[in-house]
Structure formats: C-alpha cells, structure tokens
Amino acid sequence: MPLAYDPLIRLQGVTRIFHTEEVETHALSRIDLEIRAGEYVAVCGPSGCGKTSLLSILGLLDSPSEGSYVLAGEPVSTLSAGQRARVRARAIGFVFQAFNLIGDLTVYQNVELPLRYRGLGPAERRAAAHEALERVGLLHRLHHYPAQLSGGQQQRVAVARAVAGKPLVILADEPTGNLDSANGAAVMALLAELHAGGATLVVVTHDPRYLREAQRSIYLFDGRVVPAARRDREVA
Amino acid sequence: MDTLLRDLRFAVRQLRRTPAFAVAAIGCLALGIGANTAIFSAVDGVLLRPLPFPESERLVTVWGYHASIGRESASLPDFLDWRRDSRSFTGMTARANTQFNLTGAGEPEVVRGALVTANYFQVLGSPIPLGRGFRDDEERRGAARVAVLSHGFWRREFGGSADAVGRQIMLGGVPYTIVGVGARGLSVPREVDVWTPLTTDTTLGRRNDFLEVVGRLAPGVDMSQAREELGTVARRLEQEYPGSNSGWGVDLVGLQERIVGEIRPALLVFMGAVGLVLLIACANVANLMLARVAAREREVTIRAALGASRRRLLRQLLTESVVLSLAGGALGLGLAVWGVRALQALEPGTIPRVDEIAVNGSALAFALGLSVLTGLLFGVAPAVRLMGYDLRGGLAEGGRGAAGRRSAGRTRSLLVLAEVALAGVLLVGAALLLTSFVRLQRVDPGFTPGGILTARVTLPRARYDDPARQTAFADALLERARSLPGVRSAALTSDAPLGDGPPYWAFAVAGVEPPPPEVVQDAVVFRTTPDYFRTFAIPLVDGRLYQTSDRGDAAPVALVSEALARRYWPDRTPLGARITFGDPADSTSVWMTVVGVVGDVRQEGPAAAAYPQIYVPLAQVSGRSLLIALRTSGDPLALTPALKRAIAGIDPSLAVGRVATMDERVAGALARPRVNALLLGGFAVTALVLAALGIYGVIAYGVAQRTRELGIRMALGARSDDVLRLVLRQGMAPVLAGLALGLGGAAVGSRVLRGLLFGVGGTDPVTYAGVAGFLAAVALLASYLPARRAALADPVAALRND
C-alpha cells in the first residue's frame, strides 16, 4: 500500500446539497476530514446524518457541491463522470451492506469485474482474483453463483472483490448490516486482518463493538462532523 | 361459473389499474387481429366463398389446348361439336365479350356486352328474376333481336322499373327488345351490362378462337372424366379437320379457379404475412405480460401462501390473457372493417370479386377464434414462467444480496429473437416485391407512353359493314383529330399496347416450309395508320414505314418487329419477304411484302417479353373497332371533350369508350405488383414497428430491472461507455441471432413469392444484406435509447434502487 501521500484523503469544506422540488437539503455541511494511508476509520451517526453521502463522495460516486477533495495528492472534486470512474476503478474498493454481487456472474467473475474495468489482462485478473478469494477462504467456490452462497459467504466475496485490485482505500457501508452476529464478526475480522496488512479502511457502522476496533471514529450529525464532547451530549 | 366470473372481474380490475400496459397490449393485439381479420375477409370473399350460382363447384370452363401455346379460347365450330358430342355435362354454354354503342338516350355511350348462347342462364343456374332468358330459336341468324340487362345496368338506366321489359334499346344503331333482367351478381367473370344471343348457325373458321366456354358437370361426373371424354372428341376433330385442329386438345378449369386463380398466390402470401404480424404482436404482449408477472411475484407468492394452487393461479393468468386478447379482437374487428373498406376503395381492379369482400359472420367467428387462440398463445410464456417460479425463493428473495437473476431475461431474449426473425422474413418479402416493382417500372416498354390519349370507337355493323365506309370514317376522324389544338400526331389502330390482350394471328412465310401442326406460328397483329409509330415513338430499325399511299388498291405491305425478324430471318434481312395470314396453299390468300422492321413493344405489360409482331396498314385490312391515339403537347385528358365533339361531328350516333392515357394504361399494367408491394410493405412496416417497440420494451425493462446491477458496476469502475456497450451487446445478441434465423427463413419462404417476382431472385444477396443492415440499425436504435439512459444514470441513485 503506498504511503507516499500524507494524508491519503483530504476533504476541506465539503458540502453536498440536494435539490428536490424547490427544497434544498444539506446532506453534508463544510466537512473537513483527513485520513492517512493505512488508517482504519469508523464513521457513525444516526440515520440520515450523511454517512452514505460522505461515503459516496469519498468513493467518487458523487461530487461535492462545494469544497475540495484531494485523493492521493490529486484533486478529484471537479473530475468528470468518466474521470471519476477511472479513479474509482484504480483506487477505491467498495463493500456494501447488501453485498451487491451480480447475480448473473459467478464468484470468480464478480471478483475480477473491477479488474476488467481497470483494463488488466486476463492473466493478471486471474492471479489477482485467485489471491483475493484465497484470502477470504472461498477459492473453492470460484464457479458458484451468488444465489448458491450463504449471506456470510456473499459478503466475503464482496470483500474479495473490493481488495482484489489493491485499492488505495476500502470503503465499507454497514458491511455487517445484513448478516447474523457470527457472520458479521467473521467479516469484520477479515477487514481487521486487511487493515493489519496495511489497507486503509473507512467503515460506516452502528455497532459499538466494531467502532472500538477502528483507530478513529468520526461522528456525523445533521451533515456535520461533531466533536467528541458534543457527540456525547447528542448521544445522551 | 362463479369462479370464472370472479376471475373475469379481477382481470378487468387488474387491467384498469395498469392502463398503460392495457393500452399497449390491446393496441398490439388490435393491429395483429385486425390485419388478420381483414385479409381473412378477403380470402373468404374471393377464394373460399362459392360463386353465386347453385352447385357452383360443378361449373367448369372448357378451353382449347395446344402444346406450344397452352390454353386458348374456343372457336364456334369446336364449341358446337364439344357440346353435341359430350355426355359429361348437363349443359354447356359459350360467351364472347363485346361492346355496344348505346344510343337513343342522350349522349351515345359504350356499354359492356356479352354474346351468349341461349342456355347461358340455365347452365349457370341463375334464373331470370324479371322477364325471361333467351330461347333456342333466338340463336339463329335473322331471329328477332333481344337483350337481357344486367341488374346494375337496369337500375342505372331504367331506375329498377319493371316496365323496362318489353321496351327497346338501340345497340350499335339496331333496336333490341329487352326480354329480361339478370340476377344480381350474374356478371362474372367480368362486368357485363347487356347480354344478347350468340348466333350459332354461322360459318366461322375452326381457329377463330373467341369464345369462353362454361359447362355444368353432370351429377357423378368429375373434371377428369369430363376432360377424358372431351379429349376423345378433340382427337376425332383432329382427324376430321387436320388443317385446323391438328395438335389441338381440350383442357378444363373450374370456373371459380378461372376467376380467382391468379390472385390466389398473392392473397395466401398476404395471409401468411399478417400471420407473422400477429405472432410479433403476441411476442410483444407476452413480453409485457412477463414484466407484469415479475412485478406481481409478491402477489402470487401471497396467494400461494394463502392456499391457491398453481392451477388456480394459472387459470387466473390465462383469464387475464384472454380478456386482453378479446379486447384487442374487438378493436381489431373495427380496424378490419376499416381496412376492408380501404381495400375496396383503393384497389385498382386487380382483385376479382372485390365487392363480395365483407367482414361478415365468418370473419366474426374467425376474429373471435383468433382472439382466444392469441390470448392462450401469448399467455403461455408468462404461465410457464409462473409454473417454474420457486415460491419459497420468492419469499426469501428480498433478503438476497445479488442483483439480477439469470433466468429472468432469457425468455424475453427468446421473444426478441423470434420477433426479429419474423420481422426479417416479412421485410425480405416486402423488399423483394418492392425491388420487383421498381424493376418493372424501369423496363423499357418499347414506346413512350407520356402524353398519349387513347379512346375506342366501334362502328356499328348496320352502317359500317362496307370497308370503304370504314376507311372513309377513319380518314375523316384522323383529319379532324390532327387539327385539334395541342395534338402533335394522331393515329388509328385496331389495338394498343397494354390493352385487354393483343390479338394473335397465325401466319405463313413464302418459301418457308410451314411448321408441323403441333407448332403454332403466330404473331401479335395490329392494323394501324402510318402515324401510329410516330405517335407511340416506336423506332424504325430497317426499311421504311408504310405510308398513306399504301391503301387498298396498292400492293399489300407489312412491318415486322425486331423479335419476329430475329426469329424467322436470323441471318438476313426480312425486307422483301412475303407473309400471309391465310392458307399458303390457297391461291386466294393475300400475300404482304415486308417493307420495314420496327422496334419491339411489350404489348402485355413490362413483365412479359416482347412477342413477335406484325403491323399492317388499316387502309388495307380495315375493321370496325378503332382505337384513336393522340400524342399531345399538354394534358392528354384535357383533349377528351374536343375528341368526342370531333367524333360526333362525323357521326353523332357513335359512342366514345375507354378513354384513357397511355400513362394510365402503364399504371394499370403495374397495378397488381404495386398493390402487392404496398400491402406486403405495409405489413412489413407494421411488423418492423412492433418489433422495434418490442426490442425497446425489452431493453428498457431489462435496464430498469438491472438498475442496481449497473450501479454496482459503476461503483466498481465501469464508465458510461462500458455500461452502454454492455447493454447494447446484451440487447443486440438476440437481435443478431433473430436476424440470422429470419434471413434463413426468408430464403426458404421466398419460394412462395417466386410467381410474384420480376428481375430479382428470391435469394437476392443485395436485398438480404439491405434488410439485415436496416433491421439491425432499427434494433440498434431501439436498444440505444434505453442503453444511453442506463449509461447516464447516477450511480448513487442506482445503488439506492431496490
């Protein structure tokens, strides 16, 4: 994992406003945030506080309405949709709450899909996908379809897909939300293992057990990052 | 019953709740069922319904048959012998078509006439509702002149008054007593205004073939037995009259087949075409139903959980399908009525019995049956899907984290494949007919039709039997016609190209051994004035044209066409050769010297090759039926009143008939291929639009179903181009497979079009490539619109989609 950029992610004054039928909604307001390479950051907050909006901007699925976003030294807040897609393919790995595997593709095909979009050749894709699946313990399920796997297995495939391209950062949105506690713990252990190996992780979670595993927690409320003292008040 | 009513009520309620779906599905079905019902009505009215005569299947037409020319009309002596010597018929009648100048009631008028034997109405089995038919003695020379009017003519000219019987009408300047009025629908195979008796005790040559013969088979006798018996009679005639009857046999064709046989292939092709349109409509509706079933899976799951059996669910679904198709059928019936009226209004006289086409009880039964069948047909795919649906999986599915289901799109892809294949077959057929029509239009007929007006004048025998009077009339008419303003040249002729069928005359060449009896040596013969060639712009190739000095008292001359010159004088000039239409062994036969060669003319239309032709001066071989042709510098039809005044100025009792421009005659010759191309083209366009809508619907639905999957792909780094390519590739795969299947099917199916094509093969590669490219482009466009929408989707919103 490259450590040359410090911080790896820098958000300054990031605001995201949605306009719907003359109503202006501030999903994020003047967010300043830095994440260092190799850091494990947990994002938490009540429902509707802007967690997913923040993750979408960090993952370049969305652009801020105001403010700047620098990823690995490169300003990315004003990139076009095509340029964002290219950066996403190279630098971001996603793990979703609903696994979001593609039902028509096999386990192997799901894992190698982002590598295709990155433009890697067949041999490279094969090696990287095999390595990722071996890491999550599902190499023996290469040719299965998602519907043939349990929920826990599907999320492990999703993790393999996220790490196969060795992205700069892995963004996980409630990765245990659809799992029972045993499978949830197994997935979080897997993410912790990845972090131990040097991966940069940003995990949205509600579960206090997993908040504690993170090196740092960011609490969002009404689209703003809330300082620790105020957070305690809000929670109380 | 109660359950069925409940199902029906629920089906109607469901359709009301989804009006867009209902409108789309009913619209598709109405198009398909409407087109099928309209064409079925045409097939029923023209091909299937018996002629309006009792036991009409026993009516047959009898023809002379010669190996080298095929079927031919009969001569009077042959007909009389057939009638006398055969036992296979309860009666045999003959008719000859003619025209009469009707005078005595305002402006002279040309009416369509038929000379018929006295038993004509009895043989057809059509009693005369008012008055009587003809008596046997009225066939004899010198008998009282009597006439039977057609029902239409009677209504038109006498206002349907019963007093008409017994009154007189002037036909050709001669009074005829009206003795009866024929039944409605008696005018087959062609419209007739007046029937008069055919004189049968007259001396006519055995190869003067001008009679259409109809016989009624005796009970228990079939056509092959009658053919065999008449064959025996014909062989006896060959022995008795070897000079005229050698090589001549007899052939029989059913009367209905004779009338509708030519249109049958085209009507059956249309029936097939609308069948394909209906299948495409079914595929579209099946796709819509599949989407609807998918959207109702939860409802189905709940019903199943509450105890509904699969059979019960299946019946509910099929009830909905049939309700839809009945609604489509009802609307389609309206479309069919409109379509039949449009067909009757626009049809240029190429479909026999067109007035008998109606959306009647048979069509209603057909539409109802088709609607039910259609409902079951397009209901099958969703039903199969429902039968294979894992209800437990359905309940559990909400918790699954995979986007897209492998089997969901397969059925829809198969339906798209089928739609494209069917549309491909139709498009190839339409393109082949269109190419044929274009090539027919480009054929050089051998003359320049633009700017020519033609009209027919028939000189009555009573006053113009003398050739000198005929020639005097012709000279006077030409002189007046040439002086009309805007006339560049004027000619008289016995016939013109693209008429009712040119006259074929046998001829002999001096010094050349006559052909054996089994070979008929004949040519199309026109009697014309010298300016005929200038008027029609037919080029002189060799020698000279005949001149005004080539009159009755001068040496007989003739012109031959290039085709005739090539056939009989392939390696030398025909100039100076002598030909005769008489018996070369007869010293009284008139021999004509060939003085020129002119260009070939396609007398029977662009599809028929130019037949060898001989032209002789009207001044040397005169006649009473004249066609005047005027080449004009302006609108030819504008000259009609002046031409009629010019003719009336010579003889006010003469009627001018069949006024038409040569452009109209050319259009008439191309009418059937044009109608074929237009109808099949219309069905093909309908099929194309339905298929394009089907492809669009399937891709759009697929994209909507895959919104989350596409969002995931974008999250994983897919660019807009990647998404666009993915959707297009998956959308076009069944299209390309369908295209291959459709073109293969068209290659096989084009065999049925063979008789309708001209200048293009059934597997013409250019046509197939053009259709493939066009259909692929339409499919690409239909796929591109939803694919582009998918490519431009917001990945965040797509990921949020559930």
**Distances B575 to A89, B18, B376, B565, B646 between C-alpha atoms, Å:** 90, 83, 74, 9, 38
What's the rounded Cα separation, in Å, for the pair A156 and A150? 10
Residues of B with CB under 8 A from a CB of A: 399-406, 708-709, 712-722, 795-796, 799, 802
A56–B401 C-beta distance less than 8 A: no
Q: Is residue B704 very low, low, confident or very high in pLDDT (cuts 50, 70, 90)? A: confident
pLDDT for B588 equals 86
State what percent of residues in chain B have pLDDT above 90.
52
B583 or B600: which leads in pLDDT = B600
Structure tokens at B347: 């049809």
pLDDT for A234 equals 52
A102–B712 C-beta distance less than 8 A: yes
pLDDT for A231 equals 55
Q: Sign of the C-alpha dihedral, residues A77, A79, A80, A81?
A: negative
Give per-residue pLDDT as tens, A45-74: 988 899 989 999 999 999 999 999 999 999
**Mean pLDDT, rounded, for B526-531:** 95
* Å between B745 CA and nearest CA of chain A: 32
| Range with the poorest average pLDDT among A231-235, B291-295, B612-616 | A231-235
| Of B401, B708, B719, Cβ closest to residue A151 | B401
| Of A85, A100, A117, Cβ closest to residue B401 | A100
Q: Give B238-289 as a DSSP string.
A: HHH-HHHHTTEEEEEEEHHHHHHTTTHHHHHHHHHHHHHHHHHHHHHHHHHH
Residues with Cβ within 8 Å of residue B631, at least 6 apart in sequence: B451, B452, B487, B488, B489, B490, B534, B535, B536, B537
Question: Cis omega (within 30 of 0) on the bond before B503?
Answer: no
**Mean pLDDT, rounded, for B447-474:** 90
B722–A56 C-beta distance less than 8 A: no
Structure tokens at B629: 């042709």
- Kindly identify which residue of chain B lies nearest to residue A60, measuring between CA atoms: B715
B405–A104 C-beta distance less than 8 A: yes
What's the rounded Cα separation, in Å, for the pair B83 and B77? 10
B406–A104 C-beta distance less than 8 A: yes
Give per-residue pLDDT as tens, B738-787: 999 999 999 998 888 888 889 899 999 999 999 999 999 998 998 898 88
pLDDT for A2 equals 46
Closest CA to A157 of A188, A133, A140: A133
A contacts of B712 (beta carbons < 8 Å): 96, 100-102
A82–B719 C-beta distance less than 8 A: yes
pLDDT for B400 equals 47
Taking chain B, what is the end-to-end CA distance rounded to the nearest angstrom? 40
Whether residue A102 has pLDDT greater than 50: yes
| Of B404, B717, B799, Cβ closest to residue A117 | B717
ipTM, interface predicted TM-score of the complex: 0.84
pLDDT for B769 equals 95
B799–A118 C-beta distance less than 8 A: no
pLDDT for B100 equals 87
CATH class of A39-61+86-235: alpha beta
Whether residue B393 has pLDDT greater than 60: no
Closest CA to A189 of A217, A141, A215, A156: A156
pLDDT for B388 equals 63
**Torsion angles phi and psi, residue B603, rounded to 5:** -65, -30
- Kindly identify which residue of chain A lies nearest to residue B398, measuring between CA atoms: A98
A170 or B295: which leads in pLDDT = A170
pLDDT for B389 equals 59
| Of B712, B717, B796, Cβ closest to residue A56 | B796
B contacts of A99 (beta carbons < 8 Å): 401-402
**Distances B162 to A104, B180, B192 between C-alpha atoms, Å:** 83, 9, 20
B402–A154 C-beta distance less than 8 A: yes
Structure tokens at B641: 């009143």
pLDDT for B501 equals 78
Element (H, E) at B22: helix B19-43
A101–B715 C-beta distance less than 8 A: no
- Kindly identify which residue of chain A lies nearest to residue B715, measuring between CA atoms: A61
pLDDT for B302 equals 72
B contacts of A155 (beta carbons < 8 Å): 401
A contacts of B710 (beta carbons < 8 Å): none
* Å between A168 CA and nearest CA of chain B: 14
pLDDT for B1 equals 66
- Kindly identify which residue of chain A lies nearest to residue B717, measuring between CA atoms: A89
**Mean pLDDT, rounded, for B300-318:** 76
| Range with the poorest average pLDDT among A219-233, B211-225, B275-289 | A219-233
A85–B719 C-beta distance less than 8 A: yes
A149 or B10: which leads in pLDDT = A149
Whether residue B638 has pLDDT greater than 70: yes
Give per-residue pLDDT as tens, A117-126: 989 999 999 9
Range ranked top by mean pLDDT from B57-61, B703-707, B755-759: B57-61
* Residue with token string 């199902």: B7
Length of chain B: 802
| Of A82, A104, A114, Cβ closest to residue B716 | A114
**Residue B579 neighbours by CB distance under 10 Å:** 24
Q: Give B762-783 as a DSSP string.
A: TT-HHHHHHHHHHHHHHHHHHH
**Residue B115 neighbours by CB distance under 10 Å:** 20
B799–A61 C-beta distance less than 8 A: yes
**Mean pLDDT, rounded, for A93-100:** 89
Element (H, E) at A69: strand A66-71
- Kindly identify which residue of chain A lies nearest to residue B709, measuring between CA atoms: A102
Q: Is residue B129 very low, low, confident or very high in pLDDT (cuts 50, 70, 90)? A: very high
B contacts of A81 (beta carbons < 8 Å): 719-720
* Residue with token string 């009573």: B462
Count of CA atoms in the C-beta half-sphere (13 A) of A34: 5
- Kindly identify which residue of chain B lies nearest to residue A179, measuring between CA atoms: B399
Counted across chains A and B, CB pairs separated by less than 8 A come out at 92
Are B786 and B730 in contact by the 8 Å Cβ rule? The answer is: no
B716–A113 C-beta distance less than 8 A: yes
Whether residue B534 has pLDDT greater than 50: yes
Average pLDDT, chain B: 88
Chain A contact probe: residue of B412, B716, B801 with most A CBs at under 10 A? B716
Structure tokens at B509: 């060449």
B contacts of A56 (beta carbons < 8 Å): 796
| Range with the poorest average pLDDT among A133-147, B352-366, B401-415 | B401-415
Give per-residue pLDDT as tens, A179-191: 888 888 888 888 8
What's the rounded Cα separation, in Å, for the pair B784 and B802? 24
Max alpha carbon distance in chain A (Å)? 54
A contacts of B799 (beta carbons < 8 Å): 61, 96, 100
B contacts of A146 (beta carbons < 8 Å): 400-402
What's the rounded Cα separation, in Å, for the pair B474 and B484? 16
Residues of A with CB under 8 A from a CB of B: 56, 59, 61-62, 81-82, 85-86, 88-90, 92, 94, 96, 98-104, 113-114, 117-118, 145-147, 151, 154-155, 158, 161, 178
A contacts of B392 (beta carbons < 8 Å): none
B contacts of A102 (beta carbons < 8 Å): 402-404, 709, 712-713
| Of B404, B714, B716, Cβ closest to residue A103 | B404
A127 or B413: which leads in pLDDT = A127
pLDDT for B612 equals 94
Give per-residue pLDDT as tens, B184-194: 877 766 789 99
**Residue B634 neighbours by CB distance under 10 Å:** 11
